[in-house]
Amino acid sequence: MTIYTGSGDKGETSLLSGERVPKSHERIEAYGDVDELNSVLGALVAVLRVGQPQLIREIQGIQSDLFRAGAWLATATDSPTNASLEEMAPEKSRALEAAIDRMEADLPKLDGFILPGGHPAAAWAHVARAVCRRAERRVVGLLLESNASPDATPPRSNNDRCSAQLREAVIYLNRLSDYLFVLARHCNLILGVPDISCKQ
């Protein structure tokens, strides 16, 4: 089976739930940004390959979380496919908070702005942070366009369930961008490269 099918040659693609949509559709934009973020994290892991197995496992866990988020983003709100998708648990965002606290405990106090850069691993973490913020903005847009009940607890329909998962994805991406900023500083610290101060 070949990877090329030609089915997208006219500018359309299929959502996970089967619907054909333009490649510029807001869902495609959203999960495309999440996919880009995942790829940037892969580049970061490649730079960290030697000597940081625990950190690599943590980042790869985040990559798996992003695949789950991508599945929700790639599925139409009212599709029965939603019923088979694995939910994004709030514990994932709390795990990011715990990781932020762990790394911050060892970092020197930040008394000004820093420039993205330093060690290549830190630079990739900063790129990931910027892509993460873009992905977050896309998902917020999807959530605002959703017609689901915003506070349905428990979710009463596929629409409510999807809306709840979009909200969870926004929280996760918001927390992840903070994690990636702290991770960039952490990488510089453990790899012996100072942060670059922004010259006023």
pLDDT tens track for 104-141: 999 999 888 999 999 999 999 999 999 999 999 999 99
pTM of the predicted model as reported, rounded to 2 decimal places: 0.88
Of the pLDDT bands very low, low, confident and very high (cuts 50, 70, 90), residue 185 is: very high
How many Cα atoms occupy the beta-carbon half-sphere of 81 within 13 Å? 13
Q: Where are the domains of the chain?
A: 20-77+88-197
Beta-carbon contacts of residue 103 (< 8 Å; ≥ 6 apart): 182, 183, 185, 186
Alpha helices in the chain (DSSP H): 26-47, 53-73, 90-104, 120-145, 158-190
Homologous superfamily in CATH for domain 20-77+88-197 = Cobalamin adenosyltransferase-like (1.20.1200.10)
Of the pLDDT bands very low, low, confident and very high (cuts 50, 70, 90), residue 149 is: very low
Q: Is the pLDDT of residue 40 over 60?
A: yes
At residue 68, what is the residue type? R
